[in-house]
Structure 1
Amino acid sequence: MNARDPLPPLSDDAAQALAAYSRQRWDEAIVPALTDYIAIPAKSPLFDADWQAHGLLDRVVTDAAAWIEARRVPGLRLEVIRQPGRTPLLCFEIDATRAGSTQTVLMYGHLDKQPEFSGWRADLGPWTPKIDGGLLYGRGGADDGYAAYAAITAVEALKAQGLPHPRIVGLIETGEESGSGDLPVHLDALRARLGDVGLVVCLDSGAGNYDQLWLTTSLRGMVSGQLKVEILSEGVHSGDASGVVPSSFRILRQVLDRLEDSATGELLPRGFHVEIPVERVEQARQAAAILGEAAWRNFPWACGADGTPTLPTTTDPTEALLRRTWRPTLSVTGVDGLPPLGSAGNVLRPHTAFKLSLRLPPTADAHLASQQLKTLLEDNAPYNACVTFAPDGRAGALGADGWNAPTLAPWLERALEDASQAQYGAPLAYIGQGGTIPLMGLLQRGFPQAQMMVCGVLGPKSNAHGPNEFLHIDYARRLTAAVAQVIAACP
């Protein structure tokens, strides 16, 4: 924030009052609201081309807006912003109650969801919310439907204790899982209303464990898209054509060999790599000392042929953290052109297509990487096959940039440590995240002097985007109180 003298820390009684308020509101109001929210399959536009006709994104925004308005927070103004062809955005403003405060705290979250995916437990489902052992299961609760409700509750907690706060603006979008392509348009329209942003609170990230407050230090960028290899205009008898007509799958493998060493998973073009900052390497070592083998053991490993668990690419905790946060990696997340096993006849298929997800280091240029990837995959195709790579992206956003956090101001570092100790009874910890939040790069460029509190509830086994996604309710309660405590400390 500004250069004024830092505020004195909250008393223990005040911090515990914030915790008590958060617990009560989560149990009475937020959990019921999230239960209703999870039941709505409000998939992001990338996964629902008819999202406007279906109206589900508009429904979850309307529901969240109604919940917020019902709270009757003093000094709050709320608007659902709709622009033609754009995903809706929920924006709320709350007047400052601290005398002399001139800067804005910007709070961010999103309400759009990833698709269903398979493999859910028999008693669970993506759109069937269930509480089991303090965990709220279902798609989107933790990523990131809780954010709007937690943000308002943090402000309510401050007001309930009579604690002054700066001006607060909330932006809750509905296109994050599609790369936030509409967000720059909304931000341009809202720039005058945002004011001088001094602190960004982003609630769309994760945690290394459920024992302390984790501050996200970096986010990876991403390029995703469809790689397609076409060799025939229609399928033909494999006995008749194989040996003469090359397999589209084999050609696709050759093309991917230009990008990735299949033996190690290392990406071969050096242009996709960056030098990892010394500070981030040291923070990875510190996080590894806290997490130990949990840095890689927490994933749901299958069993190998001999019954022993499958193994990670590394068992070194520090290297595991760096590989999932700063080193580029390739995943194949979907496939087309392959019939189900039960319908697979002896036919040489005309094409094979893969959905590629290329995670980039936080400081890499995602748009440039998208262009380089397209050239790498398409040029000089084997057998002169038709090889195309079509990057994902709405509104011309080809690739999503990552983000590397600015240096913490002393007041914020102290406030985060105090909040972690008060709300979790453990010190603040730092961790990079492998996911992508396009907004952070946008805000960093738009407000280069702003401080960033990026955190979230996606801890071990919470499995965002996959089966059995859950929100750890007690961790979310504590995080809400911690956010309130940090806002109370803003100078």
Structure 2
Amino acid sequence: MVRVETATVTDTVRARWAEDVLPSLSELVAIPALSPGFDPEWAASGHLDAAVEHVRAWLVSREIPGAAVDVVRLPGRSPVLLLDVPATPGGEDAGTVLMYGHLDKQPPVGGWSDGLGPWTPVVRDGRLYGRGSADDGYAGYAATTAIEAVRAAGGAHARTVVLLETGEESGSPDLPAYLEHLTGRLGRVSLVICLDSGGNDYDRLWLTTSLRGMAQVHVTARVLDSAQHSGLASGVVPSSFRILRTLLDRIEDSATGAILLPECNVEIPADRLAETRATAEAAPGSVAGAFPRHGSTRTVVDDEVELLLNNSWRPTLSVIGASGMPEPAEAGNVLRAATTLALSFRLPPTADSAAALAAIEKTLTTDVPYGATVEVTGTEAADGWNAPELAPWLASALERVSDEVFGSPWRSTGLGGSIPFMGLLGRTYPEAQFLVTGALGPDSNAHVPDEWLHLDQAQRVTEAIARVLHAHAEQ
């Protein structure tokens, strides 16, 4: 058995982050690499390619013995960046470790605090501010540094491939094609490590054990060929907004937020119920206190366990956009011809997203009030993911890491967001172990103003991954 010098792992991670990672990651933050869903002209704008090239050059500069760095491009799809590192002696038979992250970003949005901005990297009080710092620009750096640290400490690792995609924030539409294209090259994947997640505090290592699926639609209700005077037409022609409100009432209980369609609901597994109770006990108040609720706004319920279940194993609906409505200051006395709403559904991890989407579409378009025209466009669906049981070697490694690196026991939780790639990988590699973790915390502001990366937590997560790589090779 190869011995890994844990002190060397720690020292290497700390030195690499300070000297190599933070400067390059800060430069990555400055690149406005919007995901293709937010920049349809991404190929012409060149920002995604600039992000890929920036990280590619950094990976090449690491000069890891035997490593190959490639940019893979399929026609019409945003690129994938690969770092392929051969196994150390003794780790050749352990299969492939696939480590995942992404380089694309959410839109900048307004409202950043004074001195901060989406493309302005700022280090302040142990935090790196800027869009893509925590979600998920640091991941490729952390993964590579973990490989370097375990090698510097005399440890072992299996063949390891770091895959950085550029479409995650758009739902990873291109990744299935890339996975099919790379299947032969990846070989037998025995461990998947995803760094696009986090937990409920910065005191311990958090494992994500489930991810919700998703379904999205744009629904338009049209009642007129052209807008009309509201005083003359109201009471004669139905409101397009009221029609949509009626249709939504078939899907969601507006008093509780409960989704009424059976296809969108599942029975919550007993082990996830127990896990949720343990999570609430480990980090009390972390969910309720994570969001800047305005004034006297209360959470949906008071019970922390129920909040966690609502956010991980129950479906939800968010109206994330609308058109056909002028700004109030510009609104005339007009009965509008049409209203469009963008609906985003989060689905339980084990729900069939295709069946859920079909049920949503049918409910919105069947027996429409007043015979109005209803059109559903922009549909999208992706399954969630429920982690397999931890193998003994991984459970043991996590116990050691928690004690020696974090000084607190690791905990697991379901994540309310979606990473479609994980469900795809779970189906493709059913025998693999999965470690979904990361440095995001409940207040890291992913997708919103003032996104920031907790630098100490990111370094601890990097060290933990290095030790898990060694344990995987030695099992």
TM-score (ref. length: structure 1): 0.94
Correspondence for 1:342 among 329, 332, 346: 329
Q: Secondary structure of the residue that 1:98 maps to in structure 2?
A: coil
d(CA) in 1 for partners of 2:257, 2:114: 33
Corresponding position of 2:320 = 333
SS in 1 for 2:251: coil
2:40 is matched with: 49
Tell me which of 324, 328, 351 is aligned to 1:364. Answer: 351
Say which SS state the counterpart of residue 296 (structure 1) adopts: coil
Q: How does 1:151-166 map to 2 (within 5 A)?
A: 151-166=143-158
* Cα offset, 1:34, TM superposition: 1.8
Could you tell me the percent identity over the aligned residues? Answer: 51
- What is residue 130 of structure 1 aligned with on the other side? 122
Q: Which runs of 4+ in 1 moved over 3 A?
A: none
Identify the match of residue 435 of structure 1 among 378, 396, 417.
417
Match of 1:451 in 2: 433
Tell me, yes or no, if the aligned pair for 1:16 and 1:422 is still in contact at 8 Å. Answer: no
Of 5, 11, 20 in structure 2, the residue corresponding to residue 29 of structure 1 is: 20
Alignment partner of 1:270 out of 262, 268, 273: 262
- Which residue is equivalent to 2:229? 237
* Contact 2:6–2:153 (Cα < 8 Å) also in 1: no
Q: Which stretches in structure 1 are left out of the alignment for 5+ residues?
A: 1-6, 304-308, 393-397
Partner of 1:61: 52
8 A contact 2:217–2:342 mirrored in 1? yes
The 5 Å alignment of 1:194-343 reads: 194-303=186-295, 309-343=296-330
Task: State the 1:111 CA deviation.
Answer: 0.7
Contact 2:34 2:106 in 1 (8 A): yes
Q: Letter of the aligned partner of 2:438 in structure 1?
A: G
Is contact 1:15–1:422 with CA below 8 Å preserved after alignment?
Answer: no
In structure 2, distance between residues paired with 1:288 and 1:301: 20
How far apart, CA to CA, are the structure 1 residues paired with 2:370 and 2:8?
70
Task: Note if contact 2:122-2:129 (Cα within 8 Å) is conserved in structure 1.
Answer: yes
For residues 333 and 124 of structure 2, the distance between their equivalents in structure 1, rounded to whole angstroms, comes to: 46
Instruction: Give me the whole-angstrom Cα distance separating, in 2, the residues matched to 1:118 and 1:366.
Output: 32
Number of corresponding residues: 472
Give the structure 1 partner of residue 445 of structure 2. 463
**Cα distance in structure 1, aligned partners of 2:128 and 2:91:** 41
User: Within 1, Cα distance between the matches of 2:98 and 2:37?
Assistant: 26
- How many Å apart are 1:181 and its aligned residue? 1.2
Deviations 1:124-173 (A, max 9, x none): 22222222221111111111111111111111111211212111011110
Matched, 1:400 2:382: yes
SS, match of residue 342 in structure 1: helix
Q: Is the 8 A contact 1:273 1:364 kept in 2?
A: yes
Give 1:15 deviation, angstroms. 2.3
CA drift at 1:219: 0.3
Counterpart residue identity of residue 351, structure 1: A
RMSD: 1.4
Deviates more, 1:33-42 or 1:478-487: 33-42
> 2: CA distance between counterparts of 1:66 and 1:409?
36
Structure 1, residues 307-361: CA drift from partner, whole Å, max 9, x if none?
xx31001121111111100000001111111112221222222211111110000
Q: Match for 2:92 among 85, 91, 101?
A: 101
Q: Which runs of 5+ in 2 are unaligned?
A: none
Contact 2:35 2:104 in 1 (8 A): yes
Q: Tell which deviates more after alignment, 19-28 or 210-219.
A: 19-28
Distance 2:188 2:275 in 1: 30
Separation (CA, whole Å) in 1 of partners of 2:28 and 2:217: 29
Q: Which amino acid aligns with 1:248?
A: S
Deviation at 1:100, TM superposition (A): 5.4
Partner of 1:395: none
CA contact (8 A) 1:335 1:354 kept: yes
The reply on whether 1:489 has 2:467 as its aligned counterpart is no
Amino acid at match of 1:366: S
Cα deviations across residues 375-397 of structure 1 (Å, max 9, x unaligned)? Answer: 111112112112122244xxxxx
The 3 A distance-change label for structure 1 pair 321 and 342 is same
The match for 2:175 among 175, 183, 188 is: 183
Deviation at 1:484, TM superposition (A): 0.4
Query: What SS is found at the alignment partner of 1:471?
Result: strand
Question: Per-residue displacement from partner, 1:365-411 (whole Å, max 9, x unpaired)?
Answer: 1122111111111112112112122244xxxxx31110000010000
In 2, distance between residues paired with 1:19 and 1:232? 67
Query: How far apart, CA to CA, are the structure 2 residues paired with 1:15 and 1:327?
Result: 41
Measured after TM superposition, the shift of residue 457 of structure 1 is 1.4
Q: Give me the whole-angstrom Cα distance separating, in 2, the residues matched to 1:337 and 1:275.
A: 38
CA deviations 1:7-35 (Å, max 9, x no partner) are 68x67xx2232122212211222122221
Mapped contact 1:111–1:145 kept (Cα < 8 A): yes
Contact 1:104/1:199 (<8 A) preserved: yes
Go from structure 1 to structure 2 and tell me whether the alpha carbon gap of 1:388 and 1:16 turns closer, same or farther (over 3 Å shift). farther
Shift of 1:294: 2.1
CA contact (8 A) 2:38 2:107 kept: yes
Q: 2:91, 2:157 within 8 Å by CA — same for their partners in 1?
A: no
Contact kept, 8 Å, 2:218 with 2:341, in 1: the verdict is: yes
State the TM-score, normalizing by the size of structure 2: 0.97
Q: CA 1:114 to 1:100, structure 2 compared with 1: closer, same or farther past 3 Å?
A: closer
The match for 1:79 among 52, 70, 85 is 70
Mapped partners of 1:34, 1:352: distance in 2: 42
Q: Which amino acid aligns with 1:456?
A: G
Structure 1 position 234, deviation (Å): 2.3
Counterpart CA distance in 1 for 2:343 and 2:22 is: 35
Name the SS for the 1:339 alignment partner: coil
> Matched residues in 2 for 1:249 and 1:120: separation?
32
| Cα distance between partner residues in 2 of 1:161 and 1:376 | 59
- C-alpha contact 1:118 1:467 (8 A) present in aligned 2: yes
